[in-house]
Amino acid sequence: MGLLSLSALPPQIKQYLIITGNYWAFTLTDGALRMLVVLYFHQLGYSPLNIAMLFLFYEIFGVVTNLVGGWLGARLGLNNTMNIGLGLQIVALAMLTVSTDMLSVVYVMAAQALSGIAKDLNKMSAKSAIKTLVPADAEGKLYQWVALLTGSKNALKGIGFFLGGVLLTSLGFRGAIILMASLLGIVWLFSLLTLKDDLGKAKNKPKFKDIFSKSQAINLLSAARMFLFGARDVWFVVALPVFLATTFGWDHWWVGGFMASWVIGYGIVQSFAPYFTGKKQGKVPTGRSAFLWATYLLLTPAAIAVALHADFYVLESVVVGLLVFGAVFAINSSLHSYLIVSYAGRDGVSLDVGFYYMANAMGRLIGTVLSGWVYQAYGLEACLWISCFFITLAAFISFKLPDKQ
């Protein structure tokens, strides 16, 4: 019965479900891999800065991939860029199945570089494809679909964090990697057989220089996104897991489980973001919305930093503060994800979306490097004040965004 009802669905819905399934499977392995690398190399005695360096190429190649990947998606079709991303992730996982003595910093950075390329090809393809599947006049539906895809992805990334901690404890690093590569291989084969050949392919082949030809709205939104994600990752990526493990003595299960719960909750809030930003009144987000929600976000890291400085219920302040930050950040992220898909041109949509997620990757790169370096040198409180500064910049830039579609 389930298969019959699935076959009766409209083609657009079928493609959306396949794209979402691909994105989910990829995200699960990506989240698990990130937690595996952080916890395993912390266990081996790596410093926070060295752990951050393991992700350096992951983020650098994410920047390049989004820039070039949008152009490739417009020329080759989003089905091909999505499948290339899945295939590269399998190769990256396979590289990490070597013996422990071969897992040098440079080698792991190279594997993470491939994983970074894979992740951003996959994400850019999934987000761009939605624009091609929703009618041009259905902005409310577009916002709902983008929020659902983004939110469900982050919920699964959180499950991936938890899975990474569980797999490291039960199967060890190598066993966990082999299992994930095998399961992702099955998804990749299914995707090769089912995704449409012409998904998102531009009618007029874009020139390479077109990757930089953006409207003012897209340039502003991209800059705001860069600082927004830098503000999250400067304390979340390396500083927070290491802080929880060293300050409170949490083991892999507790760190992985807590980070997982946070990202799952973050994803759930993202999925329901339209209901927090005026869907009941028939509204969709504008530049004004991005500015207001960024200013709300600013209060949380500032409050946590003050609590740390005053030594005021440190554990409770970090945990509660992180939950509030996650909820407000989720709404910021979701409305940003909608705005870029809305602002993007329909023909060759991946050019605009790829450029935007290049800025997203740049923000993650800056945040990741600062997370390891600033935490090692000055501690979590300093990371939080830098987060406040980045959010202030994001709010200022968002103020200049168009206040209507």
19, exposed or middle or buried, with CB in 10 Å at 0-12, 13-18, 19+? buried
pLDDT of 2 strictly over 50: no
Which residues, in sequence order, are CB contacts of 393 under 8 Å at separation 6+? 227
Tell me the C-alpha distance between 350 and 148, whole Å: 19
For residue 275, the Cα-to-chain-centroid distance in whole angstroms is 22
Q: Which tokens belong to 61?
A: 């190649």
CB 298 within 8 A of CB 392: yes
pLDDT of residue 56: 78
pLDDT digits (tens, 9 = 90+) for 268-296: 888 887 777 765 555 677 778 889 999 99
Confidence of residue 1 (pLDDT cuts 50, 70, 90): very low
pLDDT digits (tens, 9 = 90+) for 76-118: 777 788 888 889 999 999 998 888 778 787 888 888 888 888 8
CB 368 within 8 A of CB 238: yes
**Which CATH superfamily includes the segment(s) 11-198+209-398?**
MFS general substrate transporter like domains (1.20.1250.20)
Contacts of 192-196 spanning 24+ positions with Cβ under 8 A: 192/83, 194/18, 195/15, 195/18, 195/19, 195/22, 195/79, 195/82, 195/83, 196/11, 196/15, 196/77, 196/79
pLDDT of residue 4: 42
Q: Which tokens belong to 360?
A: 């997203």
Q: How many other C-beta atoms lie within 10 A of the C-beta of residue 192?
A: 13
Confidence of residue 12 (pLDDT cuts 50, 70, 90): low
pLDDT of residue 88: 92
**Tell me, what amino acid is at 155?**
A
pLDDT of residue 3: 42
pLDDT of residue 246: 85
pLDDT of 132 strictly over 80: no
pLDDT digits (tens, 9 = 90+) for 24-72: 888 888 888 888 888 888 778 887 777 777 777 877 887 788 777 777 7
pLDDT digits (tens, 9 = 90+) for 223-260: 999 999 999 999 887 888 888 888 888 876 787 778 77
Is residue 88 classed as helix, strand or coil in its secondary structure?
helix
- Could you tell me the pTM of the whole model? 0.74
